[in-house]
Amino acid sequence: MMNQFQKQLKQLEDKGRLRCLSSESGVDLTSNDYLGFRNHPKLRDAALSAIESGIDLGSGGSRLLRGNHPAHEDLEEFAASFFGYERSLYFATGFQANYALFTTLSTRHDVVLYDSLIHASVKDGIHAGHAKGVKVAHNDLNAYEDALKRFRDEAQQIFIAVESLYSMDGDFAPLPELYELAQKYDATLIVDEAHATGVWGEGGKGCAESLPRNLITLHTCGKALGVAGGLVCASGDIIDTLINTARPFIYSTAPPPLQAVLVKEALRLVQSEEGKERRERLHIICNNVKLQMGGEGSQIVPIILGEDEHAVFVASALQKADFDIRAIRPPTVPEGSARLRLSLNADLEKETLDQFFAHLTPYLQDKAA
Ligand SMILES: Cc1ncc(COP(=O)(O)O)c(C=O)c1O
């Protein structure tokens, strides 16, 4: 007799959806370490010097109890000024930050319009919160406007939740137009900049960088910044509301102060000449891949293969050829759109990508046949 867990695992296995953990090996075409900061000597030096100067290794409690350290506040001040906001608040993960935002800021009198491809952390936050969540067709401005018109009278506040660069499709949101719509209907735009931070926008400040600051942005710190955590940037009122009422912030141990030191160093690196060069190098790689594969020219290139088994089969063939690329399957992406998620980084050489495409092409032709 199989227990409930065994049955569930067997069902996943039968569908070709059983996930398991594997270590990194082969050419990195899968991580979100877009700028190669994760092993950068400057981050290592910052860690060593913080340890030598006796930084606490753990925070020891929630930020509102004994877990608040100067390193957290120092990072938050630096990040607010870097991204151009009144204040910022640092969470242990981006998931926690999104969950906090969407369970805290909206009430049962409010509506949250969210893009159909938005990240699970936003969806889960909306689901656990009290506001009405309304899914809107991906990047469809008419659909956003229709929804704004429909809910403007009934809702006290309307929030619009989008990613600036979508994590599994690699396309950009039409942010200036969404911002205009938010203004027109007195809504608040919340932009998850997870995959844009460090890479896109003037100075790597994200795609929303050129918009006025009456919006909320989330900058995850475990992707291009190479460390971990999530920074919410917003007005002082919003940050104080999160500090006072966001349960994931209040009832959770603060991230290690060392982590905050490293994130600040990563932001400095984004700001530096080297950061600019790495960003420019990545943009060139993105353009070259766009010429070959089409798409929007971001560092995330979806190679849609359709059936789960086919995606897993192609990923495993490429892994055998020493390319670390993974199959992404439902529920992370919609049914029938299992894919390889090619993730580009600033250290990739043209020859390596040429070899990768040479290995990939026969599988694409197989599919076309
Ligand atoms: C768009 C988006 N938002 C939020 C997150 C969560 O961030 P973190 O990995 O820091 O928890 C991710 C991570 O995959 C993401 O892709």
Residue 368 binned pLDDT confidence (cut-offs 50, 70, 90): low
* pLDDT tens digits, one per residue of 271-310: 999 999 999 999 999 999 999 988 899 999 999 999 888 9
In order, the DSSP letters of 266-325 are HHHHHHSHHHHHHHHHHHHHHHHHHHHH-S-SSSEEEEEEESHHHHHHHHHHHHHTTEE-
Mean pLDDT over the full length of the chain: 95
Which sign does the torsion angle of CA 223, 224, 230, 233 carry? negative
Scanning the structure block, which residue is given the tokens 């490429």? 318
45 is catalytic: no
**CATH for 41-271 (3.40.640.10, 3.40.50.300, 2.40.10.120, 3.30.465.10):** 3.40.640.10
Burial class (CB in 10 A: 0-12, 13-18, 19+), 349: exposed
Pocket residue to mutate for ligand 1, from 32, 38, 99, 119, most atoms within 8 A of Cβ:
119
- Phi and psi, residue 301, nearest 5°: -120, 110
Burial class (CB in 10 A: 0-12, 13-18, 19+), 320: exposed
Question: Which structure tokens are listed for 238?
Answer: 């919003």
Average pLDDT over residues 240-254: 98
Residue 215 binned pLDDT confidence (cut-offs 50, 70, 90): very high
Annotated active-site residue in 28, 33, 163, 193: 163
Residue 366 binned pLDDT confidence (cut-offs 50, 70, 90): low
| pTM higher than the cut 0.85 | yes
23 is catalytic: no
Looking from the CA of residue 98, the nearest atom of ligand 1 is: 4
Ligand 1 centroid distance, CA of 39 (Å): 20
Would you state the pLDDT for residue 270?
A: 98
Q: Where in the chain do CATH 3.90.1150.10 domains reside?
A: 7-34+299-368
Ligand 1 centroid distance, CA of 228 (Å): 10
Average pLDDT over residues 74-101: 98
Average pLDDT over residues 208-224: 97
What angle, rounded to 10 degrees, do the helices at 94-104 and 120-128 form?
30
223 is catalytic: yes
Above 90 in pLDDT, residue 30?
A: yes
Strands (E), 173-299: 188-192, 216-220, 230-234
What residue type is assigned to position 194 of the chain? A
Ligand 1 centroid distance, CA of 95 (Å): 6
Share of the chain above pLDDT 70, in %: 99
Q: Checking DSSP bridges between strand 230-234 and strand 216-220, what pairing results, if any?
A: antiparallel
* pLDDT tens digits, one per residue of 187-196: 999 999 999 9
* pLDDT tens digits, one per residue of 137-151: 999 999 999 999 999
Q: Where in the chain do CATH 3.40.640.10 domains reside?
A: 41-271
Q: End-to-end alpha-carbon separation of the chain, Å?
A: 44
* pLDDT tens digits, one per residue of 93-132: 999 999 999 999 999 999 999 999 999 999 999 999 999 9
Beta bridge partners of 135: 114
Q: Which CATH architecture has domain 7-34+299-368?
A: Alpha-Beta Complex (3.90)
| Longest CA pairwise span in the chain (Å) | 63
